[in-house]
Amino acid sequence: MTQLISRMIGTGSYLPARKMTNDEMSEIVETSDAWITERTGIKTRYIAAEGELTSDIAAKAAQHAMDRAGVIADDIDLIIVATTTPDKTFPATATSVQAKLGVDRGAAFDIQAVCSGFVFALSTADNFLKAGQFTTALVIGAETFTRILDWTDRGTCVLFGDGGGAVVLRAEQGEAGQEGLIGHHIRSDGRKSDMLHVDGGVSSTGTVGHVRMNGPQVFKHAVSNITSAVRHVVAASSYEVEDIDWFVPHQANQRILDGVAKKLKIDETKVVSTVSQHGNTSAASIPLALDTAIRDGRINSGQLVLIEAMGGGFTWGASLFRV
């Protein structure tokens, strides 16, 4: 029996023009290409131009996804932007994206779950579409994350980059649990917020603040939380981990990607890794990696894709879908 499901009908991405290498990083802080490569797998990251806003990046990624999906602004009635680096405290970056794309109906709002933001946003949009409240959604992850970095802290500034990725979802009749978006598992644990946070904010300091992270602790929690979220989402589906065609993880650190894939017994040939080129782009990393692998022909229509993420909060989660 068919019912209302969400189908992913297009993906897109955008990277700022400026690419920054590890050697350039070593001119700013005491680090080296060898250390960054060995400990993280990162070789380059992209930096937004002066005046280039998160909404500019998001709108460009979204327009690519819309072109790929064959939809126009009038078709879109829901825009969710996952971001940690909004243009302004308010309005939501999603409303700026709505205006930039020429969308004048439906609703637009942001989701803040840091690096897990795209998984949270995808799950939210899926529920709206399945409920029949909206018909065509843009789910975007976009960041100008380098603007909240402390460029004197080598433990964080070498890790992150800017960029955006987007998907278009459409509510259609289909086989629930078999086609389109299949399932999600999202979690938070506010007791761990001190391990990865920004030391500023509107109601606390009145400043924007900078990223602070206990790297080794976050690393440890990331591998176990991600593995658990993946096991939950797979267990709730009619599939096994072996059925997954592509694993598109949040791109935080190659060692985390490898550790999770090993624990889950996912063959490395099924893992999409863009961390070496993009660094960690927080909420943008999954849709950026997904679009990269679709554009280069690795991920094909109908294949089963698993995504996962873990970020500040802590927040974490996983989603399973067919592209």
115 among known catalytic residues: yes
Q: Which region among 4-12, 130-138, 142-150, 251-259 touches ligand UT7 (by CB under 6 A)?
A: 251-259
Given the residues 22, 225, 253, 280, the one annotated as active site? 280
Given the residues 22, 115, 221, 253, the one annotated as active site? 115
Q: Does 40 bind ligand UT7 (CB under 6 A)?
A: yes
State which of positions 77-116 bind ligand UT7 (CB under 6 A): 115
Contact indicator for 118, 249 with CB cutoff of 8 Å = no
Antiparallel, parallel or unpaired: β 304-311 and 315-322 = antiparallel
Q: Which region among 66-74, 123-131, 199-207, 250-258 touches ligand UT7 (by CB under 6 A)?
A: 250-258
Antiparallel, parallel or unpaired: β 163-174 and 3-14 = antiparallel
Q: Which region among 99-107, 123-131, 211-219, 315-323 touches ligand UT7 (by CB under 6 A)?
A: 211-219
For residue 229, the Cα-to-chain-centroid distance in whole angstroms is 16
Decide: helix, strand or coil at residue 193: helix
| Tokens standing for residue 210 | 């900078």
Among residues 100, 107, 109, 155, which is the contact residue for ligand UT7, using CB under 6 A? 155
Q: Residue 160 has what DSSP assignment?
A: B
250 among known catalytic residues: yes
CA distance 309 to 269: 19
| Tokens standing for residue 35 | 């250390």
CA distance 159 to 204: 26
Q: Does 22 bind ligand UT7 (CB under 6 A)?
A: no
Q: Does 216 bind ligand UT7 (CB under 6 A)?
A: yes
Residue placing its CB nearer to ligand UT7 in the complex, 20 or 171: 20
Taking the complex as a whole, the smallest distance from the CB of residue 124 to ligand UT7 amounts, in Å, to 20
Helix axes 93-101, 54-69, angle to 10 degrees: 50
278 among known catalytic residues: no
Within 10 angstroms of residue 38's Cβ, the number of other Cβ atoms is: 11
Please give the residue ranges that form the binding site for ligand UT7 (CB under 6 A): 31, 35-36, 39-40, 115, 154-155, 158, 215-216, 218-219, 222, 252-253, 256, 280, 310-311
The residues annotated as belonging to the active site are: 115, 250, 280
